Chain A
Amino acid sequence: MKGPGWTTRPAASFQFPAGLRDEWLSTGLSTEPADRTTAEASVTELYRLIGEPCPSFQWVPSPAAAIEITRASPDRFPLIRLRSADTSRRCRGGRLVAAALATLHSDLRSSLDRRIERRPSGSDWLRPRTADALVFTPEDALLSGIGLEDVLEAAIYRSLRGTLRDAIAIPLRSALAAALGDADNRDNKATGFCWWGQHDAYWVARYDIWQRSGLARYRPSDQRELNLWAALARSAGWWWPGRGLCVLSERPVTLHAEPTPGSHHGVLRLHRADGPALVFGDGFGICVVHGTPVPEWVMSRPTVELIRRELNVEVRRTAIERLGWDAYIRQAGLSLVASRPDPGNPGAPLSLYDDLADGRILVVTNGTPEPDGRRRRYGINVPASFDDPAEAAAWTYGLTGGHYGLLARRT
């Protein structure tokens, strides 16, 4: 370990700062009203750093309401594409406030990254040791000799990013773009360029926890700038910086989440079975079932017609499960091609149905009962060329029908 920002410390004696991560997680999940004074002061200071005068502020209840305002004022909120030519310092003092802020932010992160000796954190590539750390608890990872840097990366940065960015902010942005009829949202054309306030906590926390755990020290000017982003993460929702005007959104008023299965680091995903999982004060919300974002009809009125029109397999599956597989088979008028016992799964048939609109569906039964004692039935899409349910079941595992017939046990 080297560099002026380092404090060396044996990893084994290090206490994993779970409390700091959880503090930032609850910041990112907060449904409290915004702290408008703090947010406005922080934005004002960021504007000052890029040579812009103090803007006026407009608060709205949701990101959807913010976009209505920014799209109505393209002169204050021009579309920007984050290419080097657009973000160069020559633009400072010009019209591209958002681009200048992006440059400021990017410079800050490069400088902080140098102090914690890592390759840029925006990369989606995992170092092999970080990948190892992802499958252990932090304590076990440290005991097994994985370095502190990799453990913190997995247990803090990857964890918060998985929850706040991947499971909340990105589905929210997609829903906003889809509502505007531009699901692609290329170069943020539909949603405009904004910062995520509380959902920026995932990257702010990374630098903050290194510093507060005594593992890194930053230049005083960098620390002051980081504090501004941290204050915004703690005080507001998404915000759109424009020339002379900054539009800020309140935080959501309702948020329902559940642990993401298989995470050793407390990653959460949105989930609510009886309504939108994320709702803002003006009623704008998004529906998410076990981490799968779904259109509103899936929750309120799943019908065979809408299910058949849906191209996204996850959305279809969620919709059919809300309707129930048996009801779907009945209402959709699927005809039974053949049925036979599932080897290794006593009492459960493998039933192959023909869905004229959609090839063939193999309806199977779980080998293990649900908490209510029933065994869940569900459908698997298979190629239309199969007539034999066992052949179709075998195909799902890349086996031949004869081979699948040898199945000794299914759980």
Chain B
Amino acid sequence: MLTLADLTSRTGLDVLSHLEREAAIPVIEGLQAQGDLIVVPFADLTEVMIVPDAYWREVPGSGIDVLRGGAGGNPHTLVADPGACRWTTGVRDNTGLALGVLAAIGVAYLVHPEHGGSGIAPGTYVIRRQRERGRLPSRLSDTAIMSRFIAD
């Protein structure tokens, strides 16, 4: 099992200094959340499909940012041993929330500067982001819900 210290030294990613660096990161095969992202076993989300011509990238040792930081947000980076994990953004999701799908034959990790590390057991998972209800100008019907993404 890896610690946050192992992960940061392997990948060169940085996390905030107050996070617990020496404890082993739990590796989970079910549902887990990292701030504004959630990792969902692929089999549990029947409404998410991988498109037929999806392009799969091998996740390099230095990682792939599955969500880059925008206004107010930090990146969530997917890392794994070379050859152990592939990632595709070629997905269709009725909610529009899926960022992509990862398929791992070894343990993969999500790393975030403020949330630390999340261990993902071998398997296939959807990574979704979080939304909230937007505000509507009063002249519009309040039954129409505009949603927006959350960035932390």
| B73 → chain A closest CB, angstroms | 6
Are B16's CB and A398's CB within 8 A?
no
Which residues of B lie under 8 Å from residue A314 when comparing CB positions?
71-72
- What residues of chain B lie closer than 8 Å to A147, measured between beta carbons? none
Q: Which A residues are CB-close (under 8 A) to B100?
A: none
Are the C-beta atoms of B33 and A311 separated by less than 8 Å?
A: no
Tell me if B130 and A292 are in contact (CB < 8 A).
no
Question: Could you tell me how many residues of chain A have their Cβ less than 8 Å away from some Cβ of chain B?
Answer: 43
By a CB distance below 8 angstroms, the chain B residues around A373 are 18
Cβ–Cβ < 8 Å partners of B137 in chain A: 311
Using a Cβ cutoff of 8 Å, how many contacts connect chains A and B?
Answer: 119
With A408-B30, A409-B32 given, is the CB distance from A290 to B130 under 8 Å?
Answer: no
On whether the beta carbons of A380 and B132 are closer than 8 Å, the reply is yes
Nearest-neighbour CB distance to chain B for A287, whole angstroms, equals: 15
B86 located at the interface, meaning its Cβ lies under 8 Å from any Cβ of chain A in the complex: no
**B residues near A292, Cβ cutoff 8 Å:** 71-72
A21 → chain B, closest Cβ, in Å? 20
Give the contacting residue for B132; candidates A382, A404, A406; CB below 8 A. A382
Q: Which residues of B contact A263 (CB under 8 A)?
A: 69
**A107-144 vs B: 1/0 string, CB under 8 Å?**
00000000000000000000000000001100010001
Question: Which residue in B28, B35, B75 is a CB contact (below 8 Å) of A261?
Answer: B75
CB pair A406–B31 under 8 Å, yes or no, is yes
Query: Interface residues of A: mostly helix, strand, loop or mixed?
Result: loop
Q: Is the CB of B135 within 8 A of A381?
A: yes
Which chain B residues border A368 with CB–CB below 8 Å? 19, 35, 114-116
CB distance from A275 to the nearest CB of B (A): 19
Q: Which residues of A contact B18 (CB under 8 A)?
A: 369-371, 373
Partner of B32, one of A260, A316, A382, A407: A407
Distance (whole angstroms) from the CB of B10 to the closest CB of chain A: 14
Q: Chain B 92-114, CB within 8 Å of chain A: the 1/0 string? A: 01010100000000000000111
Interface contact B69-A261, CB-CB below 8 Å? yes
Q: Which among A135, A311, A367, A408 is the interface contact of B115 at CB below 8 angstroms? A: A367
| Identity of the chain A residue whose Cβ is nearest the Cβ of B110 in the assembled complex | A411
A85: interface (CB < 8 Å): no
* Contact residues in A for B35 (Cβ distance below 8 Å): 366-368, 411
Kindly state whether residue A26 has any CB partner on chain B within 8 Å: no
Give chain B nearest CB distance to A76 CB in angstroms: 38
- Complex alpha-carbon distance, A178 and B108, angstroms: 47
Chain A residue nearest to B25 in the complex (CB): A411
* Other A-B pairs, 4, CB within 8 Å; known A260-B69, A369-B18: A135-B64, A311-B135, A399-B40, A403-B31
Pairs across A and B, CB under 8 Å, 16 listed: A135-B68, A140-B62, A261-B113, A262-B73, A262-B75, A316-B135, A344-B32, A358-B135, A367-B115, A369-B18, A371-B18, A382-B132, A397-B128, A408-B31, A408-B32, A410-B33
Question: Which A residues lie at the B interface, using CB under 8 A?
Answer: 135-136, 140, 144, 260-263, 269, 290-292, 311, 313-314, 316, 344, 358-359, 366-371, 373, 380-384, 396-399, 403-404, 406-411
